[in-house]
Amino acid sequence: MSVYRHMVRPLLFRCDPEWIHERAMDLGERVGASAAGRNLLKGLFSFADSRLATEVGGLRFANPLGMAAGFDKNGRVIQALAAMGFGFVEVGSVSAHASEGNARPRLFRLPLDEAVVVYYGVPNDGAEVVAERVSGRPTDAPLGINLVETNTGRPVAAEAVVAEFAEAVKPFVGRADYIALNLNCPNTTGGVSPFDGGGHLRDLLQEYAVIDDLPPVFLKFTAHVDPARMARMLEAVDSFDFVKGFVFNLPPGKDYPLKSSAAEVDPLPGTLCGRPVREMIDEALRFWYARIDRTRHKIIGVGGISSAEDAYRKIRLGASLVQLYSALVFKGPGIVREINAGLARLLARDGYAHVAEAVGVDNEAKAVV
């Protein structure tokens, strides 16, 4: 970790963020393609402990730490990420049709805040191409596919969005271990979508209900603490048992207390991700865990996770699984081992035999189901 922070990162940060990301994809794809490369990654970065194993949505996870969508948009480095020790890997966002995304530059670093500002506009190769690619790259860790509407830059009728999501999932049936539906992508619709009202979400889930062998589905939506909006979503999903839980998306914008100057931040387009979002996401996690039926639905915690303590706090607030992305940029691949080893240590300190025992213990409404 210190070698990356003091020697590697300063060199990387001299280069354009997206160019570096693409080179990381190239390297990860090559290393992950061979058994020798995967064994090297496993030896360097993975950590195993039986206390970290858990089951969510009928799937087994060696540990609760996942790679969030956005890092590997097209399923190129899933084998490398799994070998590094992530308990699961989420690819995407992927749309039914290929998209180039927004014009560059569209990725920006804020080193003082350990944050990035993202304005990608969900560029991806399209569902058919990505599905074919991941089908030839088996992984030990569960593979999630994050689906989104195609970013055309034009308004789209709600019925067309429903049809797109239904079309996009079909190539992944039989390959993806779970599906995440990106209902409020801040880079396509500004965080607003036809699914907020509940009716169109029900229409979409009815389309999914007739698909044979559909994997577990998680709904990803903008983090909020609005009881009425929550009630609409929970009512819409109530009759669909394949919906196993929820993931929080980040709202568009950069409205957080930051160390970086306003002169640097204000001109940047896009959504801020990283450490500054942690408290906002934690509040949404606390709110949602207290009100869902936890015998049916689980939460994947995201937002500002850069240490074992960050991950453990989200678990104790109600997250059954957690994901990171920005921390990989600022702390390097060693963060995977550091967080998993730290989680095992924290669980042992608190007397938990398995990570599931710690889920929600700090939530004031933990007795409510």
Residues marked active site are found at: 185
d(C-alpha 203, C-alpha 124), whole Å:
25
DSSP E strands, the chain: 54-56, 59-61, 65-67, 88-94, 107-110, 115-118, 143-147, 178-182, 217-222, 243-249, 271-274, 298-301, 319-324
Residue 251 has a CB neighbour count (10 Å cut-off) of 17
Question: Tell me, what amino acid is at 150?
Answer: T
Cβ-based neighbours of 35, under 8 Å, separated by 6 or more: none
Q: What values do phi and psi take at 118, rounded to 5?
A: -110, 130
Where residue 95 falls (left for φ over 0; alpha for ψ -120 to 50; beta otherwise) is: beta
Residue 121 has a CB neighbour count (10 Å cut-off) of 18
Best CA proximity match to 92, nearest among 80, 78, 79, 106 = 78
